Each structure stands twice: as structure tokens, then as C-alpha cells.
């Protein structure tokens, strides 16, 4: 979990009553009649209202190498020369500080070099509290732009690829409007990074004109609070391949699909025995279920599986992440839950009966159990940092002076380790000889590997991975899973990092939004479902994962 994203619980609980399943409206190209207010982003006043600055860069066409198609049409054939564009500036965190700042009133100025040319416009938008008399809270926000000649639109590092659709994120047509949804449920102060890729066309008959912005605006409409399932559609994904062994794990033509959005902070997913994905939103105090659509072109089914999943006391408003976090199944398929606010680990029977498995150690209440995994003999291992407490390490509710890694065997709870400041993700190797534990600590971004004894105890840990110097910043290590070949998958800044059992970094899957946890699912166990803050994704891999 990312304990920096807190204090938004009350906003989430207000939205629960209006959930859940609705189709994506990505492809709308005309302003609905109920538009309540608009901001013209081609004016200085409009850009000032959203606290932004337009930035601009030309784009170069460069030669590159890429495999040709094999007999199945996939990129595994002979390598040949092809072309790409530079820079790739759609990512949310792309550094455009050195780009030219342009006056919004000059967006209509002709840019690019004519003929076959491309360029980028970028603008960060902050949602104002009001537009005139209209409050923005809870509204839907659409961005619409019209370029001469074509455009593609990235929002917060994501560009959607809806099958057969034009006019949303992708090219709409000759001088046509592109219209994309930023949010269904706006919050004042919320930020969106917009990146507009301009193209001069028609490309097959290069024109004697240039690229310019005809219009750009934000439209505010009545909102639709709460999360929503979408028609599953492809979005951008990048795969960093550092070792040839990754080719046996991640397809050369990997596809990432967006399934649902509008959450506050998704976490702790597990694939249930009845073919649903269960996952937590600790900020919303809720466990959701998601089932894939029965037919292509329809949205999946999203529902509240369990509300008040981690806490329900009167002081709940003081908590940022009071709800459940890690979820798993025991050998009988019963859901086991780490409940942040109640400081406990519970198990839910098929009839809804809840059994408390652990809530204290040596008479002192647990901090906020985070992640968990069962061994084949029924032994439960879990981590217990204080991230579910309102003030984390300094919270007066905290009774244990350390963060622990625990083993629950039968009714006996044993502390295995207290050396990590923020023990978080936890997983067992496929042969169950090793226990992996990740650390959410900006000062020590490490994964420890413990050798397991026959009685379930652990020996002196070995540092399996240390990314402290490699990934600076306040974000640290989160979810942790393994596949049946023994490879280790780690949520860390930059995406899903994949390591061989000997610690070699094989590569990284980079999604548009930060990935904080994931679970193996699907009929063959080769689909990885990714919980990415406010979004749910999936990606099909070539290996089968270890599922509870």
C-alpha cells in the first residue's frame, strides 16, 4: 500500500451507494446538452483558472530496429529497420521542463515544419473549486480539442485504444474534434496531465500547411460518483527487457487492458474460486468483486462484495486507510482478510460467518495487517506495518513498538522478524522453501528472502533485491507474487519488476499508472490483474502464477 495517499475516506464512502456497472463513454465526440460550464484553454484566463502552462516540442522521426512478423503474425521474426518518433512524451511524469512555454493565445500559430511533421502540446490541469457559481465537486470533466490536421490525446500517461472507435484518444478525422473523459467524479485540486500529439496530414499526401490548435476546452457535466466497470479496452504498456529470459514470461506483443476505474486506492487482489476478482479499496473501506464480461463489447460486472471491510467505529473519519488490504483464500476457498482499522486478520465462511484468526501479539494489539499468504499445510504468514493507522508510526493507538512479520500455525502466533520498518508484500516460493517479504521504506527498498525450516520457522534473512539507490524518491515496495517457475514479481516505482529466482532483474512491465499490487487469475492462471490506484488492469502472460 502507499500510505501517503490518505485522508480521503469520507469522500469514498459517500460514493458507495451509486456504484457500479456502466459502459465506457470514451468515444463521445460532441458536447452533451447538459454541459454546466466550460473553460477555454486557448485563453490566458482559462489556463490560469486551472493553474497550468502550455508547453510545446517538435517531434523527430528516427530509424529503429524491430522484429518482423512470424507465422502467427507476432513480432518474433527477423529484425528489420523501421521508424519511430522522438520524444515519447505521453507519460504523466515525462520531464517537459525544458520545453518552450507558449502563450495560450498563440495555440493557433502554425507549428511543425510542414509536410510530414508531428509535435507535442502538454498541459497540466488542476480542477478549480468553482467556475463562476458552479461548484466542480462531483462533476464529470471532458477535454475537447481540435487540431489541424489530426491529434491523439494522452490523459495521465494513458492513451486508450478502443476497438473500432475514433474521436476519443485516437485520431478523429480531418480537423475533427477529439473528446476524452478526464473523470466522472471530480474533486477540487485533482490534477490531470494532458498530452496532445499533433500530426500534419493527410500523411499519404503531405500537405503544404502546418500543425495548429483550433480549439481546446474543458466541459463540466453532471457527474456519476463511484467506481465504474468499463468495456475492456487496450491501453498503452511498455516492457523493459533486460534479460532474454523475460521473453518466456511477457509476450513480445504484450497487451494491457483497462477494466474499471474511479476507485480511490485499489489493493490486495485475489482470484476467487467462482471466477471473480476480489480486491480491496482500503480508503473506501470496501472489498469489490469484478467479473469479466460475458460478451465482447460489454462492460464487466463490478459490485460491492463487502462494505465496512476494515473498520466501523465512530472515529473512522480520522483514518485514511481504515478498510481491508490484503486478501487471500485458504485451502477450502474461504476468504481471509487483513483488516486495517480493526487491527486483525479474519476469515469469512461461505455463510458470512467471520472468524478472528489474529488480532494481538503477547497481549498487545496488532498494528494494521497488510499482506498475507498461506502455505500448503494451512500455516498463514502476514505482515503488520502501521500504515492503516491515522498517524502511522507515531499514532497513539499503536501498541506494538515494531512492525512484524508473523506466522500463524493453528492458534499459535509467532513473530518471525521485526527488522523491517514497513514489511509489506509477502509471498512463498513455489516449493515453499523460501518466504519473500518486501519493505515499504524509502530508506531501504529491499526484499528479504527467508529460508523456511520444516516447522515453519525462518533463518537469517538474505537480501534478495535492493532497489534503494536505483529508484530514489518517497515511493517504495508494495505487492509481491511468484509464478510456478519461481520468478518473483514486485510492485515498485516504475511498474511490475520481474526477477529470476537467483535475483536477476529480467525486466519491468510499465503501465500508465503506478501498480501497487496484482493477482494471478483467469481460467489458465496466466492472466495478471493489476490494481493501479484508481484503476484495474489486466495483462496476459506466458507463464502460470501461484494462486491460493
Task: Give Cβ neighbours of residue 504 (< 8 Å, ≥ 6 apart).
Answer: 243, 245
Residue 134 belongs to a domain: yes
Q: Give the N- to C-terminal CA distance of the chain in Å, as an integer.
A: 20
Record the pTM: 0.92
Collapsed DSSP state (helix, strand, coil) of residue 14 = helix
Q: Residue 175: is its pLDDT beyond 50?
A: yes
Residue 497 belongs to a domain: yes
Q: What is the pLDDT of residues 215-226, one digit of tens each?
A: 999 999 999 999
Contact criterion met (CB below 8 Å) for 531 and 288: no
Burial of 402 (0-12, 13-18, 19+ CB in 10 A): middle
Q: Residue 2: is its pLDDT beyond 80?
A: no
Q: What is the mean pLDDT of the chain?
A: 93
Please check whether residues 185 and 252 belong to one and the same domain: no
Please check whether residues 236 and 211 belong to one and the same domain: no
Residue 40 to residue 106: CA distance in whole angstroms:
13
- Asked if the peptide bond before residue 202 counts as cis, ω within 30 degrees of 0, the response is yes
Q: What is the rounded average pLDDT of the residues 101-126?
A: 97
Q: Residue 1: is its pLDDT beyond 90?
A: no
Q: What is the pLDDT of residues 495-530, one digit of tens each?
A: 999 999 999 999 999 999 999 999 999 999 999 999
Strands (E), 20-74: 37-40, 55-67
* Least confident among 13-22, 66-75, 337-346: 13-22
Domain CATH for 454: 2.120.10.30
* Least confident among 5-9, 67-71, 193-197: 5-9
Contact criterion met (CB below 8 Å) for 319 and 9: yes
Strands (E), 388-440: 404-409, 412-417, 423-428, 434-439
Domain total in the chain: 2
Q: Which of 25, 30, 26 is nearest to 146 (CA)?
A: 30
Q: How confident is the model at residue 15 (pLDDT cuts 50, 70, 90)?
A: very low
Contact criterion met (CB below 8 Å) for 490 and 425: yes
Residue 434 belongs to a domain: yes
* Helix (H), strand (E), coil (C) string for 220-259: EECCCCCCEEEEEEEECCEEEECCHHHHHCCCCCCCEEEE
Domain CATH for 108: 2.60.120.260
- pLDDT for residue 164: 85
- pLDDT for residue 165: 85
Please check whether residues 152 and 282 belong to one and the same domain: no
Residue 164 to residue 158: CA distance in whole angstroms:
18
- Which cell goes with 218? 474543458
Q: What is the rounded average pLDDT of the residues 34-40?
A: 95
Domain that holds residue 266: 228-530
- pLDDT for residue 34: 87
Q: Residue 259: is its pLDDT beyond 60?
A: yes
392 DSSP 8-state letter: G
Q: What is the pLDDT of residues 295-333, one digit of tens each?
A: 989 999 999 999 999 999 999 999 999 999 999 999 999
Collapsed DSSP state (helix, strand, coil) of residue 497 = strand
Please check whether residues 502 and 518 belong to one and the same domain: yes
Please check whether residues 183 and 258 belong to one and the same domain: no
Amino acid at each position: 500500500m502507499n500510505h501517503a495517499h490518505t485522508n480521503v475516506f469520507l469522500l469514498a464512502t459517500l460514493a458507495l451507494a451509486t456504484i457500479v456497472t456502466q459502459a465506457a463513454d470514451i468515444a463521445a465526440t460532441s458536447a452533451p446538452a447538459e454541459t454546466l460550464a466550460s473553460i477555454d484553454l486557448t485563453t490566458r484566463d482559462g489556463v490560469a483558472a486551472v493553474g497550468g502552462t502550455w508547453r510545446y516540442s517538435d517531434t523527430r522521426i528516427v530509424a529503429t530496429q524491430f522484429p518482423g512478423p512470424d507465422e502467427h503474425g507476432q513480432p518474433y521474426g527477423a529484425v528489420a529497420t523501421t521508424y519511430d518518433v522522438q520524444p515519447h512524451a505521453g507519460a504523466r511524469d515525462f520531464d517537459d521542463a525544458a520545453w518552450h512555454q507558449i502563450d495560450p493565445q498563440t495555440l493557433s500559430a502554425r507549428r511543425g515544419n510542414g509536410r510530414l511533421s508531428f509535435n507535442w502540446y502538454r498541459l497540466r490541469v488542476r480542477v478549480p473549486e468553482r467556475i463562476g457559481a458552479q461548484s466542480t465537486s462531483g462533476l464529470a470533466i471532458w477535454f475537447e480539442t481540435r487540431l489541424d490536421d489530426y491529434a491523439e490525446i494522452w490523459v495521465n500517461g494513458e492513451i486508450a485504444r478502443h476497438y473500432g472507435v475514433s474521436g476519443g484518444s485516437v485520431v478523429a478525422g480531418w480537423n475533427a474534434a477529439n473528446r476524452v473523459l478526464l473523470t466522472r467524479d471530480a474533486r477540487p485540486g485533482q490534477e490531470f496531465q494532458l498530452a496532445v500529439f499533433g500530426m500534419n496530414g493527410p500523411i499519404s499526401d503531405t500537405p503544404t500547411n502546418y500543425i495548429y490548435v483550433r480549439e481546446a476546452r474543458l466541459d463540466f457535466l453532471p457527474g456519476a460518483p463511484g467506481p465504474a466497470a468499463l468495456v475492456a479496452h487496450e491501453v498503452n504498456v511498455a516492457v523493459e527487457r533486460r534479460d532474454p529470459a523475460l521473453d518466456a514470461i511477457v509476450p513480445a506483443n504484450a497487451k494491457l487492458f483497462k477494466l474499471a476505474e474511479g476507485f480511490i486506492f485499489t489493493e490486495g487482489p485475489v482470484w476467487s474460486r467462482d471466477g471473480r476478482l476480489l480486491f480491496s479499496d482500503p480508503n473506501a473501506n470496501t472489498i469489490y468483486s469484478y467479473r469479466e464480461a460475458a460478451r465482447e463489447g460489454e462492460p464487466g460486472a463490478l459490485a460491492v462484495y463487502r462494505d465496512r471491510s476494515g473498520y466501523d467505529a465512530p472515529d473512522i473519519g480520522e483514518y485514511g486507510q481504515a478498510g481491508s488490504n490484503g486478501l487471500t483464500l485458504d485451502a477450502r476457498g474461504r476468504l481471509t482478510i487483513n483488516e486495517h482499522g480493526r487491527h486483525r486478520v479474519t476469515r469469512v465462511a461461505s455463510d458470512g460467518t467471520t472468524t478472528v484468526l489474529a488480532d494481538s501479539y503477547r497481549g498487545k494489539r496488532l498494528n494494521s495487517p497488510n499482506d498475507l499468504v498461506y502455505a500448503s499445510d494451512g500455516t498463514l504468514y502476514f505482515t503488520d506495518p502501521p500504515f492503516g493507522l491515522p498517524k502511522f508510526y507515531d499514532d497513539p493507538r499503536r501498541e506494538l513498538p515494531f512492525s512484524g512479520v508473523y506466522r500463524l500455525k493453528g492458534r499459535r502466533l509467532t513473530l518471525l522478524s521485526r527488522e523491517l520498518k514497513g514489511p509489506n508484500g509477502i509471498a512463498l516460493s513455489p516449493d515453499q522453501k523460501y518466504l519473500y517479504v518486501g519493505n515499504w521504506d524509502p530508506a531501504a527498498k529491499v526484499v528479504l528472502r527467508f529460508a523456511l525450516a520444516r516447522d515453519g520457522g525462518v533463518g537469517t534473512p538474505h537480501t534478495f533485491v535492493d532497489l534503494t539507490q536505483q529508484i530514489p524518491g518517497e515511493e517504495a515496495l508494495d505487492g509481491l507474487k511468484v509464478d510456478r517457475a519461481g520468478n518473483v514479481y514486485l510492485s515498485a516505482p516504475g511498474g511490475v519488476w520481474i526477477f529470476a529466482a537467483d535475483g536477476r532483474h529480467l525486466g519491468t512491465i510499465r503501465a500508465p499508472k503506478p501498480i501497487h499490487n496484482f493477482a494471478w487469475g483467469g481460467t489458465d492462471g496466466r492472466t495478471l490483474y493489476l490494481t493501479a490506484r484508481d484503476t484495474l488492469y489486466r495483462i496476459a502472460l506466458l507463464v502460470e502464477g501461484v494462486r491460493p
